[in-house]
Amino acid sequence: MSRIEQTMANGLRAGCPRDQLRNFLSAGVVLQPRQLAASAAARLCDQPDGPTAIGYGGARGGGKSHWLLAQMGADDCQRVPGLKCLLLRKVGKANLEQFEDLRRRLFGRLKHEFSAYRGVLSFKNGSRIIAGHFQSEKDIDAYLGLEYDIIGVGMKSKIKRSNVATATTRRAGDRDPGSVGG
């Protein structure tokens, strides 16, 4: 069985819809079975009575950031034109460097532009991912007055539960593919 066939089989077994798997494969993104299960859960957020958030935890180096950016960029942003995503992580410089490294690995086959200065990754359909960061709890306030369709929170354990709840209530309602956190 080829790697593509294995990925398709793993994805279908995890509950991923075929169009989601096609999005990943056309972008050249191959996810591990646990990541595919998280992507299937992310798609459940699209359902009217589905979850409004999902969690993806684990040890350092377990592929959480890789999965989160792949889900946002290779699936969500490709299927919903004009989607506005926030990827919020602790520690700004490391976040932007990691974002840049992951972007290069994940989106080589997807037409996009990246402004490192602004921390904005834009796709040809108008969807974008904004790399946000915080050093302390008060830095999160800068994001609270804005609306996002998807909010991905890395290192969620470093943020007070009340701030995560406040940030995720600022999602725009009419195109809402959900919120993810890790």
More confident residue, 96 or 116: 116
58 in a structural domain: yes
11 in a structural domain: no
pLDDT confidence of residue 173? 45
pLDDT above 50 (res 16): yes
Contact 143, 130 (CB under 8 A): no
pLDDT above 50 (res 182): no
176 in a structural domain: yes
| Secondary structure in 3-state letters for the chain | CCHHHHHHHHHHHHCCCHHHHHHHHHHCCCCCHHHHHHHHHHHHCCCCCCCCEEECCCCCCCCHHHHHHHHHHHHHHHHCCCCEEEEEEECHHHHHHHHHHHHHHHCCCCCEEEECCCCEEEECCCCEEEEEEECCHHHHHHHHCCCECEEEECCHHHCCHHHHHHHHCCECCCCCCCEEEC
CATH of the domain at 175: 3.40.50.300
More confident residue, 170 or 175: 175
26 in a structural domain: no
Number of domains in the chain: 1
Instruction: Give every CB contact of residue 113 below 8 A, 6+ residues apart in sequence.
Output: 121, 122
Contact 49, 139 (CB under 8 A): no
* 131-159: pLDDT as tens digits: 887 777 777 777 777 889 998 887 654 55
pLDDT confidence of residue 94? 63
pLDDT above 60 (res 47): yes
* 73-97: pLDDT as tens digits: 999 999 999 999 998 887 655 667 7
More confident residue, 123 or 137: 123
pLDDT confidence of residue 174? 46
Domain range for 121 is 54-181
Q: pLDDT exceeding 90 applies to what percent of the chain?
A: 48
22 in a structural domain: no
Q: pLDDT exceeding 70 applies to what percent of the chain?
A: 82
pLDDT confidence of residue 99? 82
